[in-house]
Structure 1
Amino acid sequence: MTKTLYLHVGFGKTGSSALQNWLGEISPSLMKSGIKYPGSHLREDGGGSGISADWAYTISSGNAAPLKRALLKRDAAPFLNAQFSSSQGAVLFSSEGLQGLSPSTLEYLKDVSRDLSIDVVIIAYIRNIYEAAYSDYQQRVKGRFLDKSFRAFCLERHGNPQVSALRKFEGVFDDIRLIHYDTEATAGIDLALLRALGVQAPIPRMREHRVNRSLTVLESELMRFFNKQYLLVHPGAKGGAGGPGRVLSDTLIKSNPEASPELLLDEVVLEHLRHLHGAEVERVNRKYFKEERLKVLGATTRKTLESPPELPEAVRNFVTALVQQSGRLFPATDSTDSEPLWRRVKSWLFRERKTRRSDRASVDGGEVGSGMSGRIDSPDRGSAGQADILGWVDRVDRFGVVGWAAAPRNPGQTVEVLVVLDGLVVGRSRCEAFRPDVLEAGKHPTGLCGFAFDWPRNTVRQGLRQIEVRIDGAEAYRFSTEIRF
């Protein structure tokens, strides 16, 4: 039986999260068609009776993280053998992260697949150049503290991420099935994926809902102003999945997930992109579409604006004060998804201030700041062998608990900590915030192992209190202290 490895490489803002949620839902139907979608993020047992309301607007990273780790470790052969150990003739992985693989890693994948008699098929969606540039700009405004205008951003850039990624894969693989996102969006990007996979059996359609929609132009301007003010207070901030900018933008989107974002149409930018990418657009059309599908700017049903609106002065003053004074304006609160926006902003700004300290030394056992700190450890571990858990509590104070924890025997595992106050579990936190110090010290392969827990309201009273931080599922590993609030 011919073995085929399908890699859906998710270029930015081409519906990847929506497709991945749908693939998780229909994985049993795909299995019947001879295609395995392993490690469904919706149901660990492989089931998919229907996507729940909780997942309707969930941003997904797909299912290719284990494959990517195996490739980076140069240990992909056992992993791929395990995926094809059943009678299934095809396996599908999907992730935006695949576009970040280096050419040498792609060559390694090609060599391993050839040795295992596996055909590799690359599937990707490509967007019109202007729309892709605007989406890339918004992604950076949302999560990377970009404070430049769209025009300034585009005029100083000379590449296009999706074109660069396509060229990289073309340099290694022959079978690339490119889908023009803008053409297929009307009929359904799910149908286009099924055609690329060669699936002819009836498959449930993808539900119509926006996942990780773009910002409206007004929201984008609000985020850009926030970024400018934040960078004044925190020069050099880089942003990321757990940073305050991302929390703010995600909150705006979640409060109105079905909003219809406009397109900011700048003629100067349009001419610049035509000059840069006109020849590449013609090449892609000749090679993949045999007609003029890909364009620099295509027809759009979105409302277009020639210039962004001005933010009211009262809003600008409020955001400025919020960024500069957030750590002192509000009392400590919990950080659930249902919190009002200002509470979440306060919470994340506090965490940034406390966890980015230059004197933090928790990776090598040093004392940290003025709060209580110490190692998360087990009295039964002894001195021999590798610990099941590595971790440190950086500080315990009247605001909350900050630290990191990781499982060195299983670095892909996300550890959870339980926070115990006077013998009662008052909350838990996933250890998934970025900790550059832990990464640089070699304690975790990605540094995504930090946690920051804010005390729930009305739990912290004056007096001497007993605090414990335990590892969920390995509660012998813990940190205990007493602190007077």
Structure 2
Amino acid sequence: MNKKLYIHVGPPKTGTSVIQFWLSTHASWLRSQGVYYPQHELDSNSVSSGHRALFLERLSQTTRTQFNHAKFQQLLTEFNETGCNNLLLSSEFFFYQIPEFLKYREQYNIQFIAYVRADFELIESLYNQSVKRNGQVLPLPHRSQLPKSYLDELIDSISIYSECTFNLRAYGDSTVFRTDIITDLLTCLDLEPPTGYTPQSEKINSSYSFECLEFKRWVNKFDLGDLDRRIDQCLQGFKSNSQAYSLLPANTYQCYKEQSLEKIMALQALAPIENYENLINYVKAKNRASYIHQELYPDHLTKVGKYLLEADKALLSELVTHIGSKELSDLDVQYLELLRQLLGTDTLPEQKRLWLSKLMRKMRE
């Protein structure tokens, strides 16, 4: 059993987009090193679902996927014909397909690569992602106990399957990695970066700024359809001073932080986490960013509206028309008229426009 299958499973919000972008753009170099990394698509923001589409099929009327073994066998045949000894696959959707991959462990040496991120960070990042891509309209709940997470799933999986099949890596800032995440991943393959390599400086699929988060959470109410993807891609380019913020009050944040440490320690007891001590020190030293109460403030709506007006006026116009066709609350009407004013298409009579102006000033105070 000389051939190896390296399955990078994420999980979400652990640098997967950066990893997939680099691997995809260096597939030829990887192949020269004996690693076959099949090509996959990247969108206009360099974001990808990795290799999901190669052999996972979405079940109808659901977000769940199903492992297509016939397609996977075709991929293995393709891999065997390359002459490479290592197949590297990457997708966050593989996280829940571990049992399916393990059906091939008699033929291949299979190793799952998973990054371990503290839940108290992950919960805010995943919430941001749910607003970006999954139509979330509710604010982030503040609970006394952390909800079940990917760390719990990892603990369950490692408890069931041999720990030898899992390569766990600590995820955090530069104090956690001895180098950077690409160099760290290549270490799993016994590789060093190519000559001239420089770490990726620009973030890919980063979280929304607070303005964009609340804007997108508002428009998610209106069943955006095809507009959803276009709005998300456009908002990815929005730059703001409010990139670093927290939606968790101080007591909730501290509670989550302590529970996160307990989960990481429980995982370490089952299987070693590379850079474990660095991760523990990072979590203990981490301070909460400035707290912002979730609400779409008029100034923020104006900033995002002006950005959309400049970046894609046609998209903003389509969005305004789409929202105007829906059932609206009084606050929705106020927000919509503000966007119409930016477009120069406001339809309010003068008396109501003055009333709206006073209301907006009051909300700013």
- 8 Å contact kept, 1:217–1:263: no
The residue aligned with 2:78 is 82
Q: Given residue 107 of structure 1, which amino acid in structure 2 is its aligned partner?
A: P
Deviation per residue, 1:419-469 (Å, 9 max, x gap): xxxxxxxxxxxxxxxxxxxxxxxxxxxxxxxxxxxxxxxxxxxxxxxxxxx
Match of 1:218 in 2: 211
TM-score relative to the length of structure 2:
0.70
Residue of structure 2 in register with 1:149 after alignment: 139
Q: Is 1:63 aligned to 2:51, yes or no?
A: yes
Residues 296-445 of structure 1 mapped to structure 2, 5 A cutoff:
297-300=283-286, 304-308=289-293, 311-313=296-298, 338-339=312-313, 341-346=315-320
2:263 counterpart letter in structure 1:
E
Aligned equivalent of 2:68: 73
Q: Work out whether residues 8 and 122 of structure 1, in 8 Å CA contact, stay in contact via their aligned partners in 2.
A: yes
Residues 191, 34 of structure 1: alpha-carbon distance in 2 compared, 3 angstrom cutoff = same
2:265 corresponding residue in structure 1: 282
Native 8 Å contact 1:34 1:90 kept in 2: yes
Q: Does 1:175 align with 2:165?
A: yes
SS of aligned partner of 2:105? helix
Q: Report the Cα distance in structure 2 between the residues aligned to 1:207 and 1:310, rounded to whole angstroms.
A: 33
RMSD: 3.8
TM-superposed CA distance for 1:314, in Å, is 7.1
* Change in CA separation of 1:311 and 1:66 when aligned onto 2, cut-off 3 Å: closer
What secondary structure does 1:98 align onto?
A: helix
Matched-pair contact (CA < 8 Å) for 1:36–1:91? yes
* CA distance in 1 between partners of 2:235 and 2:95 (Å): 28
Distance verdict in 2 for CA 1:351–1:119, change over 3 Å: farther
Aligned partner of 2:53: which letter? A
The gaps in structure 1 that reach 5 residues or longer are 43-53, 323-336, 354-485
Q: Does the 8 A contact of 2:183 with 2:192 survive in 1?
A: no
Alpha-carbon distance in structure 1 between the residues aligned to 2:99 and 2:40: 27
Q: CA deviation at 1:96?
A: 1.4
- Say whether residues 1:93 and 2:93 are aligned partners: no
Q: Quick check: 60-69 or 23-32, which moved more?
A: 60-69
Q: Flag the 1:91–1:157 CA change in 2: closer, same or farther, 3 A.
A: same
Matched, 1:252 2:242: no
**Range with bigger deviation, 269-278 or 22-31:** 269-278
**CA offsets, 1:232-278, max 9 Å, x none?**
xx5xx6x8xx6545543432222339984334452232244256544
Indicate the residue corresponding to 1:202 in structure 2.
Answer: 194
What's the counterpart of residue 137 of structure 1?
127
Looking at both structures, which has the greater relative contact order when contacts are Cα pairs under 8 Å and sequence separation is at least 6? 2
Q: How does 1:2-151 map to 2 (within 5 A)?
A: 2-41=2-41, 57-69=45-57, 72-75=67-70, 76-101=72-97, 106-114=98-106, 116=107, 118-151=108-141
For 2:155 and 2:79, the matched residues in 1 are separated by: 26
* Aligned residues with identical type, % of pairs: 21
Q: Which runs of 5+ in 2 are unaligned?
A: 58-64, 306-310, 328-365
The residue identity in structure 2 corresponding to 1:167 is D
- CA distance in 1 between counterparts of 2:73 and 2:302 reads 57
The whole-number CA distance in structure 1 between the counterparts of 2:170 and 2:78 is 33
Q: What amino acid maps onto 2:68 in structure 1?
A: K
Query: Across the two proteins, how many residue pairs are aligned to each other?
Result: 307
Q: Which moved more, 1:179-188 or 1:133-142?
A: 179-188
